[in-house]
Structure 1
């Protein structure tokens, strides 16, 4: 048996996967499964997925079963460019209003609840829906979209709609990075397939490095063909993202978990982030 690799089917995590030698990894026992974050979160929790770019919030819900792969994440220190609250009215006027939440996310949904509840002190009625801007806004005052759904809506957003970037709102209030996804592996997978898992991890690090070194040029050409958008847009988009997991990222993530626990969004507090130490040690060699 090999390992099942869950791959978030959004552009923001592509630098970690773009240059993988998939053929070699598949021959050695890796199976790649593309999923939206909510599906990947469920697969990791159930054990049908062994490693993946799991939503930060979903990691916290099952932290005891996972270890984090060092130096890998999907984060931003300001605008993230793909997680937006679209609203018919200014954000500070949403008291008592209805907000539609995308069914594709965990981290972003709870980040919005922290932003509206803690930073703005607002009481809001939430409803979860499939990510469709027109349907979400038909009977609600605002909606949350993430990933490529948010980007496409951004491109076609009606002029009268307000737009708020959740990465910017988090950073403005905390001065810390926001980490939306971490790369986590199940502990039993590390025990059973440590060498294969490390080789996958090493290739992900190299893919990230190569993507940054060539300024995402190859990656952007692929995205332009598949999704559209201008080269300038995608260059600006990736410039706003970060894929590290530094002490500052960890501090921001633990603060996110603290706020989530205080608001009753997490059942248990998360006080530390256990890294896969063998990988951390080998990486530094």
Structure 2
């Protein structure tokens, strides 16, 4: 998954235009966002494998109409009209690198899946499940080894994830994790999960705070801490909660690269003072 900071020049403009087209599509009640996500993911996989094809589709020497026509002929009948239209519009744009096209397609597939969760009122669940799965992977070296084993088949990894997540997580969560594990495209598992969490937060223009406490926080503590952090950062805040007895009665909050440490009582009291101010 990419971000606005990982692309430059022409690719940044093309990426922004593609995101606008995706938003227009997913705002339409006639478009099945989950299906669109799957189809964009399949195109991502195709262009990830076919290096020569993606080079042709991003060749600045070729006209935009010619590239769009090629994309339409290749994808027509394989994916639905909305996916064909979106990809055709993307290849009309100018890209700095052929890889940027594939990275952006992958991000759009993820955003479409997250949008489907948002439309179903399940986005919070997906965010929490991605976070918890990341914690499980971090703490279970055997599981991480199995999911990142290059000798293991895609089917074997998919079956393992289905056994782990099936019936315990939202369908969107399962699709995102399976896609990440079976098509890592050079990313670490942890890095990919972090990117997914950030994209989920961005669906509501929220930042993510990872809150680690020695004991579970009460609902009142969570509300007050969330409000205080939102006040501090000027944006709505999603709290990913973790419990670690080694925090020794305190709390650790990480927002991006910034870490805040302190006792629960002190932080809640400070939150109250900040809100009052």
TM > 0.5 fold call = no
For normalisation by structure 1, the TM-score amounts to: 0.31
Instruction: Normalising by structure 2, report the TM-score.
Output: 0.31
Q: Which structure has more strand as a fraction of its residues?
A: 1
> Greater CA radius of gyration, 1 or 2?
2
Larger RCO: 1 or 2 (CA < 8 Å, sep 6+): 1
Task: Say which structure is richer in helix.
Answer: 2
